[in-house]
Structure 1
Amino acid sequence: MPQMSPMWWLMLYTTTIMVLLIINSITYFNYQPTMKKYIKKNTTKMKWKW
């Protein structure tokens, strides 16, 4: 079985890090939260009894 040189390990490491960063950035910027509608519904129904 052939062994990998240190340069190949470095290239493999950098490519995997870059791929993970790209995927994380894509999923981070594509996320659209829908909490605003939920918060508005609950704040109108809330009545404090002091």
Structure 2
Amino acid sequence: MVGANLDSANLKGAHLSRANLKDAQASWADLRNTNMSNTVLHNANLTGADLDKS
């Protein structure tokens, strides 16, 4: 996954709440393993606040 594919609309459409991420077993370690670093997530507007709102 490259940053260009991780736009806000796609993330919100996928309903990526914190609960959903946990259900999908997407821990921070898993995200790093799929090359989705904290920096990439931040650039994609997937902040903690955004997760809480979804």
Shared fold (TM-score, shorter chain, > 0.5): no
TM-score interval w.r.t. the shorter chain? under 0.3
With CA pairs under 8 Å and 6+ residues apart, which has the higher RCO, 1 or 2?
2
What TM-score do you get using the length of structure 2 for normalisation? 0.18
Larger Cα Rg: Structure 1 or Structure 2?
1
Q: Which has the larger share of helix? A: 1
What TM-score do you get using the length of structure 1 for normalisation? 0.19
